[in-house]
Structure 1
Amino acid sequence: MNSELHPSKLGTKEYWDKVYESEITNFEEIGDEGEVCRIHRFGIESVKNMVKWVTDNVPISTNPSVLEIGAGNGALLFGLCEAGYPATSLSGIDYSPGAVKLAKAIASSRGYEIAFHACEFLHEDPPGLSHTKREVLALWDVMLDKGTFDAIALSEKDEKGNSPATDYPGRIGRLLKSGGHFLITSCNFTEDELKKLFATTETGLVYHSRVTRPVFTFGGIKGSAYSSVAFQKTPC
């Protein structure tokens, strides 16, 4: 885990509850759906790139079950709907009830039957899709993260100095189907750091591919504003 990250208000549920309280008011009063970058510090371009990666690597014809962790206002899942993925195969979770309320309201206004649930991902198993068998544990073909791991990594550390994000990769490995894909976009972790954290024996994940990002040069060092990396669960 990146030891240089320090706890921030961006890693608290109280902060996000206040953000989404304001977002809901704006949507109800003027129809403002909220800005992607306002929620997860990424622009709409990152959403488009993630949608493109899914369409390039997970055929719509396979009707994959998709879970977004920390769905916020639902922008990424709406993008998948617009790309042709069935809304009834998409699900989004967020630990902020306000985010869930906003995403449901926007989905309803667009006529999308996407499932959104309030869920503490590190401590609760996300509900399965309504049309699938009620398994003890719902497993997913595709899992997506757009800034959620970043926020968790900014949460308060425990008495031993461990970040709650330490448990996150194992949760992904547990909930992803054999052969399934996990795509994460982060602005706090580099591609190499994400590979080290997620491609482990514990998770059963291996590096699959990356989303090419615009590169900038500053002080003679080349880099990208954020990283998008895909992993695959090793088939049993």
Structure 2
Amino acid sequence: MSDDEQNSGAFASSRLGTKAHWDLVYEKEVTNFEEFGDEGEVWFGEGSVEEMVDWCSDNLPPDQVPSCLDIGTGNGSLLFALVEAGYNPSSLHGIDYSEASVQLAQSIAQKHGEEKIFATFSTLDFLHQPAPPPPADANTAGAGWDLLLDKGTYDAIALAPSDDGTKLLDKYPPQVDMALKKGGFFLITCEFFCDA
């Protein structure tokens, strides 16, 4: 990466920023889950998940029944951790643009037992489609989500090639703004550093 790119905040595109890459990753993880019961990689490790759950517990405790949208849910590990921390699964929704990711998360949820974990998972390209609405019984129905979660999705978007002449990174903030209720929270972990 050139000094100009570092100073401008621009990142060189990489296969890690492509849907094709993530489809292959999650197709392999679905196969591993079906054959061996392996629930897949927890991207950025369990430490990131624990820190995010701790922040949620301190700022939007489970007894408030916040509606939470996990952007780029992967295998659903963050939502499963929130359920274990006492959050209402019916107020949790994970989205991912990789159909295989959603298939994996749904399979893991079934393994844990539907009566225990029944968060919603759906295939959705957050940069090109509106976010799903919060659950109808959520205290913010029609007003946006109480909490948007991002555990590494922004990193992948930063590495994505442009589409239709627009940097995908530029499409992210307006989508977050439209999905989040006024006064809501956006919790993001970013592991992508220029020096890395």
Task: Calculate the TM-score normalised by the size of structure 2.
Answer: 0.87
Are the counterparts in 2 of residues 88 and 129 from structure 1 also a CA contact under 8 Å? Answer: no
Per-residue deviation, 1:187: 1.4
Are the counterparts in 2 of residues 68 and 92 from structure 1 also a CA contact under 8 Å? Answer: yes
User: Amino acid of the residue matched to residue 28 of structure 2?
Assistant: S
Are the counterparts in 2 of residues 126 and 138 from structure 1 also a CA contact under 8 Å? Answer: no
Structure 1 residue 99 and structure 2 residue 106: aligned? no
What is the aligned residue count? 185
Alignment correspondent of 2:122: 117
Structure 1 residue 28 and structure 2 residue 34: aligned? yes
- The partner residue of 1:139 within 133, 144, 157 is 144
5+ residue gaps, structure 1, are 191-222, 226-236
- The partner residue of 1:173 within 152, 155, 177 is 177
Structure 1 segment 19-168 matched on structure 2, within 5 A:
19-37=25-43, 42-111=44-113, 112-132=117-137, 139-158=144-163, 162-168=166-172
C-alpha distance 28-143 of structure 1, shift in aligned 2 (>3 A): same
RMSD (Å), alpha carbons: 2.2
C-alpha distance 113-136 of structure 1, shift in aligned 2 (>3 A): closer
C-alpha distance 12-137 of structure 1, shift in aligned 2 (>3 A): farther
User: Amino acid of the residue matched to residue 2 of structure 1?
Assistant: G
5+ residue gaps, structure 2, are 1-7
User: Amino acid of the residue matched to residue 171 of structure 1?
Assistant: Q
Structure 1 segment 179-198 matched on structure 2, within 5 A:
179-189=183-193
Q: Secondary structure at the match of 2:121?
A: strand
Structure 1 residue 2 and structure 2 residue 9: aligned? yes
Q: Secondary structure at the match of 2:126?
A: coil
C-alpha distance 178-159 of structure 1, shift in aligned 2 (>3 A): closer
Are the counterparts in 1 of residues 15 and 21 from structure 2 also a CA contact under 8 Å? Answer: yes
Q: Secondary structure at the match of 2:125?
A: coil
Q: Secondary structure at the match of 1:10?
A: helix
Q: Secondary structure at the match of 1:7?
A: coil
Taking only the aligned residue pairs, the percentage that are identical comes to: 50
Shift >2 Å, 4+ stretches: 126-133, 135-138, 157-160
| Higher helix proportion (structure 1 or 2) | 2
Structure 1 segment 196-215 matched on structure 2, within 5 A:
none
Are the counterparts in 1 of residues 93 and 119 from structure 2 also a CA contact under 8 Å? Answer: yes
Per-residue deviation, 1:173: 1.2
C-alpha distance 189-172 of structure 1, shift in aligned 2 (>3 A): farther
Q: Secondary structure at the match of 1:144?
A: strand
| Higher strand proportion (structure 1 or 2) | 1
Q: Secondary structure at the match of 1:71?
A: coil
Q: Deviations over 1:176-224 (max 9, x none)?
A: 111110000001258xxxxxxxxxxxxxxxxxxxxxxxxxxxxxxxx9x
Equivalent-residue separation in structure 2 for 1:98 and 1:157 (angstroms): 23
